[in-house]
Amino acid sequence: MLGISLLNEVREEAGGHEYAIFGYHGGPVSITDGRYVYMCAAHPQQAQLNEYTLFPTHMNTRFTVEELKNAKMTEPMPFTKGCPVLKIPVRSHYAYKLQSDVLFDLKRDPGQNSPVENEEEIKRFQRALIDIMGQNDAPEELYTYYGLTK
């Protein structure tokens, strides 16, 4: 929700962000600082993932009648400017199932073929994910879904 254009940073190779996060809704969330990539596995058995919207569609399709039958109106979120939103339970999860969290050292392994063990770096990335999720008003269930403790 706080995205900004990276065009000037790419053109100038400014590197103005300490971290970048990426992933797919329902799949693992990844974070990088340019040296390491930490992939945080989803734990769908620990928390119900939901979609929050006022426009009842997925990215490319409409919600089904069955999905909408389970929808509920929920309190406004900070980024909805006081408007309540639909909370719709996600029925299926992203196909890529990461079994556990992994850390890659891009300097030594740019192809991300061999995970490394480095608890200090993993904890640093977990703290960064928690901070970034908080800055972006992530719903509470996402912390549990990714096994993160605020």
Domain count, the chain: 2
Domain that holds residue 76: 50-92
Give residue 46's pLDDT. Answer: 84
Characterise 71 by phi-psi region: left (phi > 0), alpha (psi -120 to 50), beta (else): beta
31 & 101 share domain: yes
5 & 38 share domain: yes
Give residue 1's pLDDT. Answer: 47
Tokens of 17: 């962000």
Give residue 128's pLDDT. Answer: 97
Identify which of 132, 100, 113 has the alpha carbon closest to the alpha carbon of residue 32.
Answer: 132
60 & 125 share domain: no
| pTM of the full structure | 0.79
- CB burial readout 54-83, b (16+ within 10 A) else e: eeeeeeeeebeeebeeebeeeeebeeeeee
CATH code where residue 139 lies? 3.30.1120
pLDDT block averages, 10 residues each, the chain of length 150: 64 72 86 95 86 84 89 87 90 69 96 96 97 89 91
99 & 136 share domain: yes
What number of other Cβ atoms are within 10 A of residue 28's Cβ?
20
